Amino acid sequence: MIGIARRSDDVTAKELMADQYGLLYASQAGFSVGRVVAADTNFFREWAAATSPDLLEGVVMTATHPKIEERAAAARATLGRVTEKIELFDRGVAAYRAGDYEEARRLFEDFLAVYQSREAFNNLGLAYYQLALAEKLPRAKGEAPLRLSVTLEPVTRARSTLSTHRRSAFSARADGEQPSAFSQLLARATRYFRDAVERDPWSVTALNNLACAYYLAGENSSAVGELDRALALSPESSELYNNRAAALLRLGETLKANLAERAGADLMRAVELKPDYVDALFNLAWMHKASGNVAEKERYAARLAQAAPGSPLLALLK
């Protein structure tokens, strides 16, 4: 689109750019836009045949408007540019899963340059979230090590909506006056999660991850609010109950209020839905350890040991 953008004062250029943006936005909304200019289909030609047959012969209303074949060619070029970059998304997913969050960040940012979709913003936010977490952990002594669950989106809509794409060859299964590296990374994670939510307000994944970023930033009331929204959309999610419980416990500490009963109910619901859910079992054991309830702490520690034998989390409950 850069070449077209340079002719932005040209009506032809503006119409071609509108076609391309329309295709990308429709794809990001989940529509199969590849069919618009597939080998056996040409939406522009079919539209002209139904409304203005003269256009099929190359006739245009004025000399400034693009011809049918010019619009189709520009659309194909746009889809081609995006499909060539799908491999970046796949590699970003693989890098994230391998724990190489800096490489994942770079790859997701490169993909976002051509395809600004919810899953790309979400995953880029996750990469920054993990980088921020790595900065925070060495400084978090004495803080309750409650466990939250974040979610990576492994597939981009570009793959499912652009039917003319080539299959990727890579198959993916405030400290002081200056912001600290932690706060800068977390701010960027939060921004990208917000972008993901703006593009799809009903995405439980994006809402949950945004809540986790708020939690990490100490904005626990906002975290609870986002998790309330997510649970309204997905009331059987054990991860959402677990994460809301952690945010409630932290919020209670901030407000000097006893929210342990509400948090405990959420954690119980989480392990009811998923009995071997390691994070929720650990959080229950930790909550009871903090309250001095040794018997309940031992009970959930035993369940944790059964669900994840040899887990380093067990040492934190000694």
Q: Could you say which of 28, 57, 82 is where a domain stops? A: 82
- Rounded Cα distance between 14 and 26, Å, is 18
User: Same structural domain for residues 54 and 121?
Assistant: no
The verdict on 11 and 106 lying in the same domain is no
Q: What's the total number of domains in the chain?
A: 3
d(CA 314, CA 311): 6
Neighbours of 311 (CB within 10 A): 15
Cα distances from 97 to residues 64, 172, 180, 294, in angstroms, run 50, 10, 26, 36
Task: Among 22, 54, 82, identify where a domain stops.
Answer: 82
In a domain, 20, yes or no: yes
Query: Consecutive 10-residue runs of the chain (318 residues): their mean pLDDT?
Result: 49 60 60 56 55 52 56 63 82 90 95 88 94 77 75 81 46 48 92 93 95 92 93 97 95 86 96 96 95 95 95 91
Tokens describing residue 1: 């689109």
In a domain, 195, yes or no: no
Residues contacting 225, CB < 8 A, separation 6+: none
6 and 61: one domain?
A: yes
Residue 238 lies in a domain: yes
- 8 Å CB contact between 27 and 33: yes
CB neighbours of residue 206 within 10 Å: 28
Residue 197 in domain: no
The pLDDT assigned to 311 comes to 92
- Give a yes or no: residue 209 inside a domain: no
Q: Which two tokens stand for residue 178?
A: 């200056």
pLDDT of residue 209: 96
145 φ, ψ (degrees, to nearest 5): -85, 50
Confidence (pLDDT) at 301: 96
CATH number at residue 300: 1.25.40.10
Q: How many residues does the chain have?
A: 318
Both 241 and 316 in one domain: the answer is yes
- Residue 131 located in a structural domain: yes
Query: Domain boundary at 56, 82, 108, which?
Result: 82
In a domain, 206, yes or no: no
pLDDT recorded at residue 72: 60
306 and 264 within one domain: yes
Give residue for tokens 């652009």.
162
Residue at 48: amino acid letter: A
Instruction: Give the structural domain span for 239.
Output: 218-318
Kindly state whether residues 89 and 78 are assigned to the same domain: no
**Residue ranges of the alpha helices (H) in the chain?**
2-5, 11-28, 43-51, 68-83, 86-97, 101-112, 118-136, 157-161, 181-199, 204-216, 220-233, 238-255, 260-273, 278-291, 294-307
Same domain, 99 and 127: yes
The verdict on residue 198 lying in a domain is no
* Shared-domain flag, residues 93 and 154: yes
- Give pTM, 2 decimals: 0.69
DSSP state of 142: T
Same domain, 103 and 185: yes
